[in-house]
């Protein structure tokens, strides 16, 4: 049996465009001789459609698009495509299509409602675990979360005789997830003695990025094929369902279990006289990116799709000569092209000559345009305007933040005048502890690196230089001490622990929900831990006002980590 996994990049709400993409992939799969073609979860609607699912017209268009797609699938070939089904209620569904008809509508059984997922808000849980008979082989179909559980439909289908388990998915990316997902799928294949076909979505959707990374495993749990990460792909493989029987004859474990009810069998007619490919297809196993490579590609894809799918064309960002704006600019140029990115240098009396030189060198290395707007005159004007109100008071963080807000105003003015989208450049470490200025460096339309910790920012910048084989991020940017340069001789460590100390504390508290005692027991200073946790808790109101940005860690701020702003809970010393 020749299978094709159509790893396509859908757009939420573009029902007919998504259907056309699916049809184009179908044509290529048929030309390659595929018997079974799979698509991602909710292909017709895009994922996640969120409250568009409240609109009956949207549901109806998605159903009509499914029917039009089904009409293109010939007899003897099966396609499995994600859509939203309506049967008294809404279901996250997979249509099994052949011979111009929808032969079965499988309804997703395990609805994720954690992290970024909110499927119980929209869908009803499905029932049953049918299998489709295609060329004598039984193929079990499931949707995304269904395969993540050791039991469930995959187990029932395998015990019911399925030799192939097909899972269509929209599994969003975060760092280290791809390797974990591969291990899980390999275990499913070896445990059930079945081929596992996993077809994943690729593309950016607001803060989410889907990494593709579709895979095929054989009944022994060995990897057969792997699609590209972060790019559209059509992965083909020749599989031999009879190997599943051989595997089961040598592994008696499944004989100890029986399905609760025999699965329903959907018969798919064989095509009379269908030509079989004479030559076997070459199985591609694309290499995996390193962690920094994955993060870079996720940022590039997320930003590129955010602009492309929303009809934006050009970006503008402040270039300070620091590491964060350097990474944001490198991502923007990679995603949008240097001709569509403008960097703005906004020096003040506290900006060092090295920072100006580094910003100019970065822009030259990237081939992007720059403008320079000095903020000194505006800062002087603000201080004069506020002289009466601030009479007798020393300068403090207020004047520091004024400079940041002046820069935010300059960028927003350029955005208004030319229709450019402002990219804010704050990282996750800063966002976590509130080391950022509302209406200043937080201003913008998209926060490129808001979920990238500072230490990872450095690692990704070094990766970019290695990837390009030349110095993109100037070496002086990589080695100099971080500073906001809002007062004389300012350093980030004046206000925060060193980032190699701060970031592990933040990861433990934000992503792992560890308490003070647990973090201290891991070797961190108790005063540092308490101070960092207090800063994180106090900054919640700021983060709610930040622009959306790309999720790359296991728990991002926003729709992923949800904490109340009004919140009096704090861990007491005696609670430890």
Mind listing the pLDDT tens digit for each residue in 176-235?
999 999 999 999 999 999 999 999 999 999 999 999 999 999 999 999 999 999 999 999
Give me the half-sphere count of Cα atoms (radius 13 Å) on the Cβ side of residue 478: 15
pLDDT digits (tens, 9 = 90+) for 144-185: 999 999 888 999 999 888 999 999 999 999 999 999 999 999
CATH of the domain at 537: 3.40.50.620
- Same structural domain for residues 68 and 154? yes
Looking at the structure of the chain, the number of domains it has is: 2
- Same structural domain for residues 239 and 322? no
Question: Is the pLDDT at 249 greater than 80, yes or no?
Answer: no
Which of 41, 119, 156, 334 is catalytic? The answer is: 41
Question: Is the pLDDT at 263 greater than 90, yes or no?
Answer: no
292 Cα distance to chain centroid: 14
> Domain end: 252, 267, 282, which one?
267
Structure tokens at 395: 């300068």
The answer as to whether 281 is a domain residue is no
The residues facing 198 across adjacent strands are 167, 215
- Same structural domain for residues 329 and 470? yes
Alpha-carbon span 324 to 340, nearest angstrom: 19
* Local confidence band at 115 (pLDDT 50, 70, 90 cut-offs): confident
- Same structural domain for residues 210 and 341? no
The residues facing 216 across adjacent strands are 197, 225
The mean pLDDT value for 436-463 works out to: 95
Residue 430 burial class via C-beta count within 10 angstroms: exposed 0-12, middle 13-18, buried 19 and up: buried
**Residue 490 pLDDT:** 85
β-pair type (315-318, 421-424): parallel
- Same structural domain for residues 255 and 317? no
Alpha-carbon span 190 to 194, nearest angstrom: 7
**Residue 574 pLDDT:** 59
Q: Is there a contact between 30 and 77 (Cβ–Cβ < 8 Å)?
A: yes
> Domain end: 267, 283, 312, which one?
267
Structure tokens at 214: 């579709």
Other Cβ atoms closer than 10 A to 97: 27
Tokens 């974990």 sit on residue: 180
> Domain end: 232, 267, 302, which one?
267
- Same structural domain for residues 185 and 297? no
**Residue 259 pLDDT:** 65
133 Cα distance to chain centroid: 35
Mean pLDDT computed over every residue of the chain: 93
- Same structural domain for residues 338 and 254? no
Q: Which domain holds residue 405?
A: 291-575
The answer as to whether 274 is a domain residue is no
Tokens 């920094």 sit on residue: 292
**Residue 572 pLDDT:** 73
- Same structural domain for residues 397 and 360? yes
Which of 108, 309, 450, 454 is catalytic? The answer is: 108
β-pair type (2-7, 208-211): unpaired
pLDDT digits (tens, 9 = 90+) for 65-95: 999 999 999 999 999 999 999 999 999 999 9
Which of 21, 94, 119, 144 is catalytic? The answer is: 144
Distances (CA, A) of 488 to 47, 352, 355, 397, 480: 48, 10, 14, 12, 16
Between 266 and 465, name the one with better pLDDT.
Answer: 465
Q: Is there a contact between 275 and 213 (Cβ–Cβ < 8 Å)?
A: no
Alpha-carbon span 244 to 190, nearest angstrom: 10
- Same structural domain for residues 260 and 316? no
The mean pLDDT value for 551-569 works out to: 89
Alpha-carbon span 166 to 157, nearest angstrom: 10
The answer as to whether 174 is a domain residue is yes
The answer as to whether 232 is a domain residue is yes
The answer as to whether 278 is a domain residue is no
The answer as to whether 537 is a domain residue is yes
Alpha-carbon span 432 to 538, nearest angstrom: 10
DSSP state of 563: -
- Same structural domain for residues 257 and 323? no
- Same structural domain for residues 365 and 427? yes
The answer as to whether 282 is a domain residue is no
**Residue 188 pLDDT:** 94
The answer as to whether 283 is a domain residue is no
Instruction: Tell me whether residue 144 is one of the annotated catalytic residues.
Output: yes
Q: Which string of DSSP letters, residue by residue, matches 466-528?
A: HHHTS-SS-HHHHHSPP---SSTT--GGGTS--HHHHHHHHIIIIIS---HHHHHHTT--HHH
CATH of the domain at 146: 3.60.110.10
**Residue 488 pLDDT:** 86
- Same structural domain for residues 314 and 257? no
Instruction: Tell me whether residue 41 is one of the annotated catalytic residues.
Output: yes
- The predicted model scores a pTM of 0.94
The mean pLDDT value for 355-381 works out to: 96
Q: Is there a contact between 238 and 280 (Cβ–Cβ < 8 Å)?
A: yes
| Helix or strand holding residue 404 (H, E) | helix 397-418
Give me the half-sphere count of Cα atoms (radius 13 Å) on the Cβ side of residue 198: 35
């Amino acid at each position: 049996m020749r299978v094709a996994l159509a790893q396509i990049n859908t757009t939420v709400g573009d029902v007919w465009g998504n259907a056309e993409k699916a049809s184009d992939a179908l044509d290529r799969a048929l030309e390659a001789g595929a018997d079974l073609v799979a698509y991602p979860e909710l292909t017709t609607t895009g994922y996640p459609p969120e409250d568009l699912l409240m609109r009956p017209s949207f549901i109806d268009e998605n159903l009509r698009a499914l029917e039009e797609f089904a009409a293109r699938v010939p007899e003897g070939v099966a396609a499995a495509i994600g859509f939203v089904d309506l049967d008294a209620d809404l279901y996250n569904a997979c249509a099994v299509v052949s011979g111009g008809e929808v032969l079965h509508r499988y309804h997703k059984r395990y609805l994720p409602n954690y992290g970024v997922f909110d499927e119980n808000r929209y869908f009803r849980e499905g029932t049953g675990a049918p299998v489709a008979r295609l060329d004598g082989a039984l193929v079990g179909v499931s949707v995304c979360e269904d395969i993540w559980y050791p039991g469930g439909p995959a187990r029932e289908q395998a015990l019911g005789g399925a030799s192939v388990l097909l899972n269509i998915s929209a599994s969003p990316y975060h760092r280290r997830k791809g390797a974990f997902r591969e291990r899980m799928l390999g275990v499913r294949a070896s445990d059930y003695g079945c081929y596992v076909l996993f077809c994943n979505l690729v593309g950016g959707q607001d803060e989410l990025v889907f990494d593709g990374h579709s895979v095929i495993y054989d009944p022994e749990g060995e990897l057969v094929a792997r699609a590209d990460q972060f790019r559209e792909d059509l992965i083909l493989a020749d599989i031999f369902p009879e190997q599943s029987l051989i595997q089961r004859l040598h592994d008696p474990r499944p004989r100890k279990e029986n399905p609760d009810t025999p699965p329903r069998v959907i018969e798919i007619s064989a095509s009379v006289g269908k030509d079989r490919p004479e030559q076997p297809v070459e199985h591609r196993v694309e290499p995996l990116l390193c962690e920094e490579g994955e993060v870079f590609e996720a940022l590039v894809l997320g930003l590129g799709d955010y602009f492309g799918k929303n009809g934006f064309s050009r970006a503008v960002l402040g270039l300070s000569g620091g590491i964060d704006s350097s990474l944001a600019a490198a991502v923007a140029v990679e995603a949008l092209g240097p001709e569509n990115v403008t960097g703005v240098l906004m020096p003040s009396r506290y900006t060092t000559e090295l920072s100006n030189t580094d910003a100019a060198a970065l822009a030259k290395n990237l081939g992007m345009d720059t403008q320079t707007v000095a903020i000194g005159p505006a800062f002087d004007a603000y201080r004069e305007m506020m002289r009466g109100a601030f009479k007798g008071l020393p300068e403090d963080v207020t004047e520091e933040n004024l400079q940041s807000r002046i820069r935010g105003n300059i960028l927003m003015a350029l955005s208004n005048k030319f229709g450019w989208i402002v990219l804010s450049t704050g990282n996750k470490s800063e966002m976590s502890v509130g080391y950022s200025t509302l209406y200043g460096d937080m201003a913008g339309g998209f926060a490129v690196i808001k979920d990238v910790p500072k230490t990872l920012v450095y690692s990704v910048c070094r990766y970019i230089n290695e990837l390009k084989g030349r110095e993109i991020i100037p070496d002086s940017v990589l080695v100099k001490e971080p500073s906001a340069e809002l007062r004389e001789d300012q350093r980030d460590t004046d206000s925060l622990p060193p980032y190699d100390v701060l970031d592990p504390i933040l990861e433990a508290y934000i992503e792992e929900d560890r308490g003070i005692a647990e973090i201290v027991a891991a070797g961190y200073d108790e005063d540092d831990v308490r101070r960092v946790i207090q800063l994180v808790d106090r900054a919640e109101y700021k983060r709610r006002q930040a622009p959306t940005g790309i999720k790359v860690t296991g728990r991002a701020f926003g729709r992923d980590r949800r904490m109340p702003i009004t919140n009096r809970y704090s861990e007491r010393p005696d609670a430890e």
